[in-house]
Structure 1
Amino acid sequence: MFDIILFAVFPYVAISLAVIVGIYRLKTDSFSFSAHSSQFFESRRLFWGSVPWHFAIILVLLAHLLAFLFPAAWGALAGKPIRLYLLEITGLALGVMTVIGLAQLMLRRAGEPRVHVVTTKMDWVVLVLLLAQVVSGVVIAWTLRWGSVWYLHTATPWLWSLLQFNPQVEYIAALPNIVKFHAFNAFLLIAVFPFSRLVHAAAVPLGYLWRSPQLVLWNRR
């Protein structure tokens, strides 16, 4: 029953919250769809935290997404030992990079007074959840080898069953607790998404592609 609540019910609750609250926030307070950048306060530590974090997490998420969307192709890619070794080593390296980058960003928020002042409780909630997610991912990559393959036979069919509104909890219920935590925490991040500054990820400025050119006038002596 506990697995059903966590992996058959909660994912739909999380996605519903993300969509409904996200749309409500966009309609009622569209200007809050921003990262509220603090870069002008201090940029050196921000660079060494933000660049590794964004670079690594995008590649990690892309790998998860490709394995979910194209399991047969991903299986063929990981079907040869040398390619599987490269995928595992690369994934572990990217995971470590995400931890280092996120740790830098958290130290910056805690240690830089001007940044600490503009950091909210929700920022810390999100940072802690993100840290738990990436650390658990690194632990899984280090202790449960060949995730590039077993992911295709566990998480992928479970996620597809959710998409088809026919949750098959048995795919994930038998996995180690660290993997179950990683899966649950991913949907927990989705649930808090619309309440945090993470919503800036959904604010893609597509309107800039077709808006009229702007004329900039400089008034200098």
Structure 2
Amino acid sequence: MPDITHLLFGIYPYIALAVFVLGSIVRYDRDQYTWKTNSSQLLESKQLRKGNYAFHIGIIAILGGHAVGLCTPHQVWDAIGLTPSVKQAFAMGMGGFFGVICFYGMTILIKRRLTNPRIRANSSRMDIAILLLIYLQLILGLISIFFSAQHMDGQEMLKLMSWVQNTITFDAAEAVADIRHVGLIYKLHILLGMTLFLLFPFSRLVHVWSVPVKYLSRNYQVVRAR
């Protein structure tokens, strides 16, 4: 019978990712009217601009860093001469820098959503829940930097990389073996991340799929003054 570690880190990730992909497809197919960010800019714009820019800059850099850092095999880093300890120090520095930027933006956005009566009235429970869960996930990530600083050999980071890569290649048994002896703070960070994937199709986060990439190649619009 699978133990709790196997259930949480060997089975739950696949459930979360399956719901993430299939749920997004079903929502797009059946409920496209809700496929939007539900922008509250018309209700208040000054605080939104201040928090939104910082949040998106921080979160995009963090997600990109996680994707590259965790999904790239360690042999690639070894080949370019980047040792685990150096890679860990670099990840801590960049993660901390962009994490603080994201934290600043999210603090403004949460305060705005919870304290502005008009915005609060136009916010669903899921809007608030997702915002608070992302905030908690960000805080866990920032706290984990202090734990990482206590062991700069990069070995725990290698276990996390191995867990991600073995999960992607459907080697659940090896993935569980990798994660079993990782610190609690990292396990909580992973579990909350998987939970965000699970909730993704049921929230406004689906607008991520609609990022306007075509704008990068679109012809300039000519706007003439009267």
Normalising TM by the smaller chain, what interval?
A: 0.7 to 0.9
Distance 1:82 1:5 in 2: 33
Is 2:162 aligned against 1:153? no
Q: Which residue of 2 aligns with 1:144?
A: 148
Q: Deviations over 1:120-141 (max 9, x none)?
A: 1001211121011100000001
SS at match of 2:37: coil
Q: Which residue of 1 aligns with 2:11?
A: 9
Q: CA deviation at 1:152?
A: 4.5
**1:1-221 equivalence runs, <5 A:** 1-70=3-72, 71-74=74-77, 76=80, 78-79=82-83, 85-145=89-149, 149-150=154-155, 152-167=157-172, 168-205=175-212
Distance 1:113 1:57 in 2: 27
Distance 1:148 1:196 in 2: 39
SS at match of 2:154: helix
Distance 1:81 1:170 in 2: 22
* Stretch moving more, 7-16 or 163-172: 163-172
Distance 2:49 2:152 in 1: 31
Q: Deviations over 1:102-127 (max 9, x none)?
A: 11111000111121111110012111
Q: CA deviation at 1:206?
A: 5.6
SS at match of 2:134: helix
SS at match of 1:39: coil
Note the residue ranges of structure 1 that are not aligned, 5 or more in a row: none
Q: TM-score, normalised by structure 2?
A: 0.84
Q: Which amino acid aligns with 2:188?
A: F
How many pairs are equivalent?
218
Q: Which amino acid aligns with 1:44?
A: K
Q: CA deviation at 1:13?
A: 0.7
Change (3 A) 1:29 1:88: same
CA contact (8 A) 2:88 2:157 kept: no
Q: Deviations over 1:23-60 (max 9, x none)?
A: 11111111211111111211111122111111011111
- Report percent identity of matched pairs: 28
Q: Which amino acid aligns with 2:4?
A: F
CA contact (8 A) 1:141 1:147 kept: no
RMSD: 2.9
Q: TM-score, normalised by structure 1?
A: 0.86
Note the residue ranges of structure 2 that are not aligned, 5 or more in a row: none
Q: Which amino acid aligns with 1:28?
A: R
